[in-house]
Chain A
């Protein structure tokens, strides 16, 4: 089998044996129609993964497409409430939002009828498009619900509402065992990933990094502590500012909080305003609101930072952690969700539970340069072995094969 230019480029990063292996598995799904559905084309981890996974899948000869459900502000207000509630926020869903949620899925089902009815495999990402399944009683293929959210301790009444829409799926996928909930179908565990060839993760020349910092008005005169994330309460940007203020009493640093908006996140403006208020008057704090496609800028920011943070209080997986690790940065992350799987204390970063904990780790990393460098080397290798897009796609494709392979045996020879 010959390898295309794109596959060769991946091969140079992950090894050609890994690409050969992926091609063998992809070959078993040739001719099958695979569709992914989510709620935004840009902004957020899901859109980023699909932006890489779809072209890579096509390059492997797979018939794959990506559809996005369209909704009005009430729909996105509802899905944001769903998102927060599944991560534990108390409260219920207003009736108007529920109506918008159901109605939006009904109209999108009609729009996507031809694509989804005949698909061999359909991946529905997160709760936003979950009710689509109910509009396809004559569906031909297997439908999989992919949950990217930390639903380890959900608001129970909201989970019951979502469960009603997802229990009919053939399988679901969660990022961690902690997130899985009782459902009447197999629940697979697959971690998300980053794309080493994307604008956000390719290696940049030092001059480009310096230029980007200059353009953003951030002097590189002292070590930069960076958190890249949506302005979302669960990312705890205010906690990061507090950590910075504690650490700054001992080490001279800058803090950069860089966030983008996503079209399906109506709350980000409110959180951003609070962050700007907290940062006001401190010339060493830089709050950046970047467009959703500023991938190369984020890459430069991460590459130029001394320490990357992701001090989330809830986190599905934390792809910004993966990105930081890939750029050989030790990462200080909240001791929650997928961050626990990515950061191994003292090996490639530190997991913390408070602003004080984050501050002491910032100080430690800045005063132990050789440890920081050693942890950075570990960090990249760890991502290479575990969290790249080629590995995630391999697991997705294997899952599809498993769903259609006969027998309930746990060991299957195909």
Chain B
């Protein structure tokens, strides 16, 4: 038995994100601001994280739907940039993200130069979601087998562990990193590299490719 026998295994979860209509929509910044306090908190999650699991292309300039709509729907680049500067992982919870969004919209509406009445020809639909996590029972105990296990996980499972893990962790760490911590210095470089991946600038497929590549490079021949 090697030292790895004492380590906790990594348990893979499956995840499904079901999207729901809230019936709430906005056509202007003022309508967006007025609606924001009343939509379910899962709507904030969907418009920041859920976008990763729905049809989209990688070349999205902005990291959340509010910013994308401000740009493409309203043509308000200044507002889009402000909204895009929100770092959701740095917020304590979804309520804090909602408050920051409200502050940014208030500031924009208070700007005298701004045409707050301007209507978009494309409405913003607030979408809520239900996120379900299923235990697959699949466990991996060794570093050696870990890259292949991540590579062969579904995109939803990868989303849950890598992208959403950063939200659930108080320190903003993904599930893979948290598991790798028990191996101490042996995985320190790898963990640093994983932390450096910006999860908002790539599609899910691209992110998975980057993570798997790092795992393969760093864990090849390691462990049992």
Give me the interface of A with B, judged by CB distance under 8 Å: 15-18, 20-21, 24-25, 28, 174, 177-178, 180, 182, 186-191, 341-342, 344, 347, 378, 382, 385-387, 394-395, 398-399, 401-402, 405, 410-414
Residue ranges of B at the interface with A (Cβ–Cβ < 8 Å): 14, 16, 18-21, 23, 25, 40-42, 45, 54-55, 57, 123, 125, 127-136, 152-157, 205
Which of chain A's residues have a CB closer than 8 A to the CB of B153?
Answer: 17
Distance in Å from the Cβ of B179 to the closest Cβ of chain A?
Answer: 18
Contact present for B57 and A21 (CB under 8 Å):
no
- Within 8 Å CB of B54, what residues of A? 386
Evaluate contact between A401 and B132: CB separation under 8 angstroms. yes
* Residue of B14, B40, B133 with highest tally of chain A CB at under 10 A: B14
* Contact of A188 with B133 in the complex, beta carbons under 8 Å: no
Given A17-B152, A17-B153, A394-B16, A402-B57 contact (CB < 8 Å): no
From residue A152, how far is it (CB to closest CB) to chain B in Å? 10
Q: State whether A188 and B156 are in contact (beta carbons under 8 Å apart), knowing that A341-B55, A347-B57 are contacts in the complex.
A: no
Inter-chain contact B20/A186, CB cutoff 8 Å: yes
Docked CA distance A377–B66 (Å)? 29
Contact A21 to B157, CB < 8 A, known contacts A386-B55, A410-B41, A411-B131:
yes
| Option from B16, B128, B136 in Cβ contact (under 8 Å) with A410 | B128
Are B20 and A182 in touch, CB under 8 angstroms? no
Inter-chain contact B18/A174, CB cutoff 8 Å: no
Q: Which residue of B lies closest to A383 (CB)?
A: B55
Task: Knowing A20-B154, A412-B133, say if A191 contacts B20 (CB, 8 Å).
Answer: no
Find the B residue at minimum CB distance from A408.
B130
Q: Are B157 and A410 within 8 A (Cβ)? A: no
B135: A residues at CB distance < 8 A: 413-414
CA–CA, A57 and B157, complex, Å: 21
Which residues from chain A contact B18 at a C-beta distance below 8 Å?
188, 395, 398-399, 402
For the complex, give the distance between the alpha carbons of A177 and B135 in Å: 30
A398 touches B132 (CB 8 A): yes
Please name 6 further chain A to chain B contacts, defined as beta carbons within 8 Å, in addition to the given A188-B20, A410-B41, sorted by A numbering. Answer: A24-B14, A25-B14, A189-B21, A398-B18, A399-B18, A401-B16
Residue of B nearest to A191 (CB): B55
- Contacting B125 at CB < 8 Å: which of A178, A191, A399? A178
For A18, give its contact among B23, B129, B155 (CB under 8 Å): B155
Supposing A17-B152, A17-B153, A18-B154 touch, asked if A382 and B134 sit within 8 A by C-beta, the answer is no
Interchain CB contact under 8 A, B132 and A414: yes
- Docked-complex contact B19 and A21, CB < 8 angstroms: no
Per the bound structure, the CA–CA distance linking A405 and B57 in Å amounts to: 33
Q: Is the CB of B156 within 8 A of A410?
A: no
Q: Determine if A410 and B42 form an interchain contact, defined as CB atoms under 8 angstroms apart.
A: yes
B96 to chain A, nearest CB (A): 17
Name 26 interchain pairs, CB-CB below 8 A, sorted by A.
Answer: A15-B154, A17-B154, A17-B157, A18-B155, A21-B14, A21-B154, A24-B14, A24-B136, A25-B16, A177-B127, A180-B21, A187-B20, A187-B21, A188-B21, A189-B21, A189-B127, A386-B55, A394-B16, A398-B18, A410-B40, A410-B130, A411-B133, A412-B131, A413-B135, A414-B134, A414-B135
Which A residues are in CB contact (< 8 Å) with B155?
A: 18, 385
Q: How far is the CA of A242 from the CA of B73 in the complex (A)?
A: 30
Taking A191-B55, A398-B16 as contacts, is the C-beta distance between A16 and B152 under 8 angstroms? yes
Q: Say whether B55 contacts A387, CB under 8 Å.
A: yes
Residue of A nearest to B19 (CB): A189
A412 touches B19 (CB 8 A): no
Partner of B130, one of A180, A342, A387, A412: A412
How long is the Cα–Cα vector from A378 to B152 in the complex, in angstroms?
Answer: 23
A346 → B minimal CB distance (Å): 11
Using CB atoms, name the residue of chain A closest to B168: A411
CB distance B157 to A412 under 8 Å? no
CA distance A411 to B205 in the complex (A): 24
**Complex: how many Å from CA A16 to CA B151?**
11
Q: Which 6 A-B pairs have the closest CB atoms?
A: A180-B21, A398-B16, A21-B154, A410-B42, A177-B125, A386-B55
Kindly state the separation between the CA atoms of A154 and B86 in the bound complex, as whole angstroms: 38
**Residues from chain B with Cβ under 8 Å of A401 in the complex:** 16, 132
Q: Which residues of B contact A190 (CB under 8 A)?
A: 19
Complex Cα–Cα for A177 and B46 (A): 13
Contacts of B16 in A (CB 8 A): 25, 394-395, 398, 401
Complex contacts, B14 vs chain A, CB 8 Å:
21, 24-25
A187 to B20, CA, bound (A): 5
CB distance from B197 to the nearest CB of A (A): 20
A414 lies within 8 A of B128 (CB): no
Task: Verify A402–B130 contact, CB threshold 8 A.
Answer: yes
With both chains docked as a complex, state the minimum distance between the C-beta of A378 and any C-beta of chain B, in angstroms: 8
The complex places the Cα of A385 from the Cα of B203 at a distance, in Å, of 11
Nearest Cβ distance between residue A374 and chain B, in whole angstroms? 13
Q: How far is the CB of A90 from chain B (nearest CB, A)?
A: 23
Cross-interface CB contact of B45 among A15, A405, A410, cutoff 8 Å: A410
Contacts A410-B45, A410-B131, A414-B134 given; does A188 touch B57 at CB 8 Å: no
Cβ-defined contact, A385 with B205, below 8 A:
yes
Beyond A24-B136, A410-B42, whether A188 also contacts B19 by CB under 8 A is: yes
**From A171, which residue of chain B is reached at the shortest CB distance?**
B20
Q: Please give me the residue from chain B that is nearest to A412 by CB atom.
A: B132
Closest residue of chain A to B41 (Cβ to Cβ) is: A410
Q: Which residue of chain A has its CB nearest to the CB of B152?
A: A17
Distance between Cα atoms of A399 and B19 in the complex (Å): 10
B57 & A382 in contact (Cβ 8 Å cutoff) = yes
Rounded to whole angstroms, the CA-CA distance of A178 and B152 in the bound complex is 35
Choice from A17, A18, A342, A402 contacting B132 with Cβ under 8 Å:
A402
In the assembled complex, the Cα of A178 lies from the Cα of B135 at a distance in Å of 34
